[in-house]
Structure 1
Amino acid sequence: MSPETDFTADQIWWHIDAERAALADVLEGLDDDAWSTDSLCAGWRVRDVAAHLTMATAGTADMLPWLLRTGFSFDKAIRESAIALPADRAEIVDRLRALVGCRRTAPFVSIREPLIDILVHTQDICVPLGREVPEPAPTPTSGSRADAAAAAADRVLALNRRPVVSLRRLPRGVQLVAVDADWSWGRGELITGAMTHLLLALAGRRAAAALLSGPVHLLDR
């Protein structure tokens, strides 16, 4: 059973909305030092990751100047546009809150990509700050944060199975098993942890190793 296919659009959007609202509450309480702290994304401050999350509905016309400026490097265009976003702390928080209830996505992505973004980037912000985002109270039909992270992880794996362009190299020789969701992946030595932390590992964040149990050095193999 795959969470990616079992999760409905309504469930996915519920989690995107709930996680955006929860992160906005955390961001609102950060001081200047926290906003300037390096995130888990290399070269991105907490402020830059937060700014990026407010640009989830950016269209082709919005990104084209940045793609031209960066030689059509998608990753560089995303980073530089977020860093240059002319918004202060309060405006970034307001923009993130304004996305709650929005059902638009950037071009050429499914609704699961914003789910991956909010779950991974929330950790990119909060892990280096030593903060946790309280889990939004689930509804009888929404599923838990761990369920949502499992659906996001399945999407990451699906994107990496594309024949031409994949996201990143996946770990080999390991089996990842969630302790809080009915989810596992891979074959080999056992690595366990919370589903959100396993998602962080699949997203290529080395900091995830410190949050997991088992031979975590194999994640870099």
Structure 2
Amino acid sequence: MHRDELWRVIDDQRRTLTDQLAELTDDEWRQPSLCAGWTVRDVTAHLTLQHVGAGEALRGLARYRFDVFRATREAACAKAAMPTEELIAEIRGHIGSRRHVPFVTANEALIDVLVHGQDIMAPLGRRHDVPPHAAAAAAARIWSRPFLFPAMKELRGYAFVSTDANFRAGDGPVIEGPILAILLLLTGRRALLGQLSGPGAAALSQPTTPGAAPA
């Protein structure tokens, strides 16, 4: 994706997501997300952290001995204590900005907003649309950076074919279906596994651990 188009999608996703967040009930904010051990509020709080500076990020990592997942979790928990309206306002305030988390690129910001939007809305039974071409770009980025995504260790042994976007990757038993379902699977989330078909999908349709924590 062209950089301007990438940021346009990020802005659109943030706008739509904050509109939906404003509609949630108090009970929905407390519900589990697709991320094991994270509530809808926790994941929303995580999405406010895109503007953290490099110094603050390094201090947070050092505090937890450079355990990225623990540092991410603790930062999100601290933010989750904020009033609901402030969480929504912070994400809405990111619209139009080109800042992102230090030490990564705008591509990771795209992955973040696409996947975490589903983490929040899917378990609530609320639809949150994602442009297929953007999901394909995110999936391609993940495929090129497998070391950043623990689920990829297992999934490298499969071939993925999107039925609604230009994405094909890998060798092995075929997993075929909508790009959003593929994107979620590549990030360790099996919520849409039922939308995928092929020998590879059948092999994966076994009891497994819940989805990955935000990254």
Contact 1:50–1:92 under 8 Å retained in 2? yes
Contact 1:174–1:218 under 8 Å retained in 2? no
1:47 correspondence with 2:41 = yes
Look up the equivalent residue of 2:100 and give its one-letter code. T
Aligned CA distance change for structure 1 residues 179 and 118 (closer, same or farther; 3 Å)? same
Q: CA deviation at 1:123?
A: 0.9
Contact 2:122–2:128 under 8 Å retained in 1? no
Cα distance in 2 for partners of 1:25, 1:54 equals 15
Matches within 5 A, 1:130-141: 130-134=125-129
Q: CA deviation at 1:60?
A: 2.5
Contact 1:177–1:184 under 8 Å retained in 2? yes
Cα distance in 1 for partners of 2:53, 2:154 equals 29
Q: CA deviation at 1:166?
A: 4.1
Between the aligned residues of both structures, percent identity stands at 43
1:200 correspondence with 2:184 = yes
Aligned residues: 202
Contact 1:59–1:106 under 8 Å retained in 2? yes
Q: CA deviation at 1:68?
A: 3.3
Gapped regions of structure 2 (runs ≥ 5): 207-215
What is the TM-score of this pair, normalised by structure 2? 0.87
Match of residue 137, structure 2, among 151, 154, 158: 151
Contact 1:19–1:118 under 8 Å retained in 2? yes
- The equivalent residue for 2:149 is 167
1:90 correspondence with 2:90 = no
Aligned CA distance change for structure 1 residues 155 and 126 (closer, same or farther; 3 Å)? same
- The equivalent residue for 1:213 is 197
Cα distance in 2 for partners of 1:66, 1:10 equals 31
Cα distance in 2 for partners of 1:186, 1:25 equals 37
Cα distance in 1 for partners of 2:173, 2:204 equals 11
- Over residues 142-161 of structure 1, what are the superposed CA-to-partner deviations in whole Å (9 max), with x where a residue is unaligned? xxx1001111111111111x
- The equivalent residue for 1:188 is 172
Q: CA deviation at 1:217?
A: 4.6
Q: CA deviation at 1:208?
A: 3.3
SS in 1 for 2:176: strand
- The equivalent residue for 2:62 is 68
- The equivalent residue for 1:3 is none
Match of residue 124, structure 1, among 115, 119, 124: 119
Contact 2:142–2:186 under 8 Å retained in 1? yes
Cα distance in 1 for partners of 2:7, 2:110 equals 8
Q: CA deviation at 1:204?
A: 1.1
Aligned CA distance change for structure 1 residues 104 and 207 (closer, same or farther; 3 Å)? same
Q: CA deviation at 1:212?
A: 2.1
- Over residues 108-167 of structure 1, what are the superposed CA-to-partner deviations in whole Å (9 max), with x where a residue is unaligned? 1111000000011011111111111245xxxxxxxxx1001111111111111xxxx543
Gapped regions of structure 1 (runs ≥ 5): 1-6, 136-144
Q: CA deviation at 1:71?
A: 2.2
Cα distance in 2 for partners of 1:61, 1:44 equals 26
Cα distance in 2 for partners of 1:218, 1:70 equals 37
Cα distance in 1 for partners of 2:44, 2:195 equals 22
How much is the aligned-residue C-alpha RMSD, in angstroms? Answer: 1.9
Contact 2:140–2:167 under 8 Å retained in 1? no
